[in-house]
Amino acid sequence: MRAFLSARPSFAGLAVAAGLWLLAAAVTGLWPDRQAHRLTADFAAAQALFAGLLLASAIAGPRLGRFGVWLRRNAPRLSALPVLLAIWQIASAKTGWWPQPYFPPPQDLVDVYATDYARLWSSLRHSLLLLALGTGIGALIGFLTGVATGWSRGVGYWVHPVLRFIGPVPTTALIPLVLFAFPGTFSAGIFLIALATWFPVTVLTWSGVASVDSAYYDVARTLGADRRFLLLKVAVPASLPHVFVGLFMGLGNGISVLVVAEMLGVKDGLGYYLSWAQGWGAYGHLYAGLLLMALLFSAVTTLLFRTRDRLLSWQKGTVKW
C-alpha cells in the first residue's frame, strides 16, 4: 500500500485503479436512482470502459512508452477519482443525502455537455478571447513600464506615485465606473483585465530589473557593452524570473476580474453563463460551467508554466523548479 500511495511508477497501481473504476461503474449502474437521470446507464458504461482501458494499460506495461510512465505515475490520482465520483453518486442520485436539484449527480453534468455544448462553446470562446486580449495588453504594458521604471530614475519618479495610488484599489471596485465610461462591455472588460494584469507585472518586472547584480553590468562594460546592450542583454534576461512571477500573479488577477466582469456587466462568457444558470436554477448547468472554467484556467496556467520552463531552462540555478 505504501508503494501504491507513492509517486513511483507501478503496474499494480494501475490494476487497483482499474478495479476502483469498475466498482464505481457498478455503483452507478446497479444501484437504482431515487429519481430518473437520463444518462445513468451511459455514465456507468463509460466508467467501465475506462476501467478496461486502465487494465489494458497495466497489461501492456513498458510498451506504452512515455504515456505508460505517465499513467503509472498518476495511478494514485486515477484511483482517487472514482472514489470521489462514487461518493458523489451515492450522496446525490442514490440516497438523496444531498438535496436535489441543488447537487445533481455527475451524469447530469455530462448531459449538459451533450445538450448545451453550443452555448458552452460560445461562452468558452468569448472568455478566452477576453482573457487573451486583456492579459496580453496588460502584460505587455506592465513589462515595458516595469523595465523603464527599474532602469530609469526619471521614469521611476513619475511611475512610483501611480503604482502606490492605483495598486491598492481592487480592480473589481472599478467595474461600475469602467462600464459607464467605455462604449461597450467588451472593451470595458479588456480594460479591467489589462489593469488587473498590469500592476503585478509592472511591480515584479521593476523589482527584477532593479535587483540585477551590478557585477553583471561591470563585466559587460569591461567587454565594451553600451547602455542598450546592458538593458536588452543583461538587465531583461536576468530579471525574467521576477517577470514570470508577475505574469502568474497577473494571470490570476485577470481571471478573477474576468469572471466578475462577465457576471456583472459583460453579456457573454463563462461568468455570464454561471450567472444565467444560477438565475434559472439550472444547477447542472452551473456545475458544468464551473468545471469547464476550472479546466480552462488550469490549462492556461499550465501553458504559462511550460513557457517559463522552456524560456528559463538556462537559469535552473536561479529559478526554483
What are the domain boundaries of the chain? Answer: 8-101, 117-315
Report residues of the chain scoring pLDDT below 50.
Answer: 1, 3-9, 318-321
- Which of the following CATH numbers is that of domain 117-315: 3.40.50.10800, 1.10.3720.10, 3.40.50.180, 3.30.1490.110? 1.10.3720.10
Predicted confidence at residue 178, as pLDDT, reads: 85
- Calculate the alpha carbon distances from 77 to 43, 123, 218 in Å: 20, 30, 51
Q: Report pTM.
A: 0.81
For residue 314, the model assigns a pLDDT of 64
Q: Cα–Cα–Cα angle for 82, 119, 266, nearest 5°? A: 110
CA 311 to CA 321: how far, in whole Å? 13
Distances (CA, A) of 311 to 36, 111, 173, 210, 315: 52, 41, 35, 21, 9
Q: What is the per-residue pLDDT for 316?
A: 60
> Which grid coordinates are listed for 267?
453579456
Count how many residues are written for the chain: 321
Q: Are 320 and 151 in contact (CB under 8 A)?
A: no
At 194 the pLDDT is 93
